[in-house]
Every structure is written in C-alpha cells, then in structure tokens.
Amino acid sequence: MTNAQLTALQYGFIAFLALWAVVLVPQLITQLARHGGLRLRGLATTAAVLLYGCMTLAVVLLPLPGPGSRRLGQTVQLHPFQWIADIHTELLKHGGQWFMTQTFQQACLNVLLFVPLGVFARILWRRGLTGTALIGFTASLLIEFMQLTANFGTAPFVYRIFDVDDLMNNTFGAVAGWVFGALLLTLRRSPVDVQPARSERVHFAETR
C-alpha cells in the first residue's frame, strides 16, 4: 500500500468520525424512544457501514490532483484481464515475483475492497448471490463513472482510469464477501440447530 493510500485512509477515518458523530445522536434517541434502551448491535452495525463507506470513498477518490499534477495519457481501459498483461510487462521491466508486482497487489486490493460490501449484503440486507453481484457491479460502476467524469466535474481533470478490470474485480470481491457472510451465518446457526436435537434425546430418555 502506497503512502498516498495510507493518507487517504486517514482522511476516510476522520470523515467517518465526523459523520458518525452526526448520526449517533439521532440513532440513540430513536432507540430510546422505540425500545426504551440502547441496542449495541444496531449501533455497531451503523458504525461498520459508515466506516466502510467512508474508507472506500477515500481510497477511490483521494488524493485529488494538485496544481502540478500531470494529466493521464489514458482515461479508459476496456480490455478484460488487461492486468494480467500488465503484470507480464512489469516483470519484464523490473523482474521479481509476479505476486510482488504493484499491478497484482492493486488487483487484490480491488477485490478486497468490495468483500465487506458482500458481507453486508448477505448478513444485513439478506440479499441473494445474484442480488449481491448486482449491488457490487452497480457500486463499482458508479465509482468508475465518478472517476471518468472527474468526480462529476468537481475535480480539475480526470485523474483515475475507468477500468473494466476494476468492475470485474470489485464484483468478484462482493461475491466472495457474500460467500464469506453465508459461511458465518451457517457457523452461527449450527449450535442452535444441534441444541433442539439434544433436548429431544434427553426428553426421550426421561420418558423411558
């Protein structure tokens, strides 16, 4: 991870703290009014979603181009799996191992970036695999469109590439997150499924 990405994450965390401070008070009031007390699970869920959203936007939008920033020579990449060819090119120039190349690491980050979204879609929003893939693709497409339009015209020029590989990797990350979320739900439910069977055996033994 580059210094620019680390700085972006710091800004994202600051934005999360500011946004959560605004959202927290109304949520606390709502919980007290509806339930007569606090529900930590709801608070933690809201915090997790806000943190993920702020960190994701920070990573994909920051840093913004400064006055001396150079314009991109290419702003659109529409060849699927171009990142594989880019790894080969990088190896020819610098050598080393393919999994240590910046291109491969960036592709992995694009996948990991959307894994939490898939987990949220499965656990919180109860979406199916297809619905989660559509959510991941739509969110990724919106981000790529923002980059293609220079953040809807708020940036001085286009400073990120619209990349079809990012769409595929982000969508795959959301699907992987859905599978991980499904596994978590299965593990959480398994003790509950075993308990009734044990109770039935005890009841049967007592009746005998």
Q: pTM here?
A: 0.85
CA 103, CA 63: separation in Å to the nearest integer?
19
pLDDT at 91 over 70: yes
Q: Answer whether residue 150 is part of any domain.
A: yes
% pLDDT > 70, the chain: 90
Q: Where are the beta strands (DSSP E) in 36-188?
A: 76-77, 162-163
5 and 96 in a single domain? The answer is: no
**Which of 63, 94, 110 is the last residue in one of the domains?**
63
Regarding whether 103 and 189 lie in a shared domain, the answer is yes
Looking at the structure, do residues 124 and 42 belong to the same domain, yes or no? no
Q: Are residues 154 and 188 in the same domain?
A: yes
Region 129-135 average pLDDT: 97
The rounded percent of the chain whose pLDDT value lies above 90 is 70
Question: What range defines the domain where residue 5 resides?
Answer: 1-63
For 30-42, how does the pLDDT look when each residue is reduced to its tens digit (9 = 90+)?
989 988 888 898 9
Identity at 93, one-letter amino acid code: K
Which of 140, 3, 114, 108 is CA-nearest to residue 55?
114
Mean per-residue pLDDT over the chain, rounded? 89
Cα–chain-centroid distance for residue 55?
Answer: 9
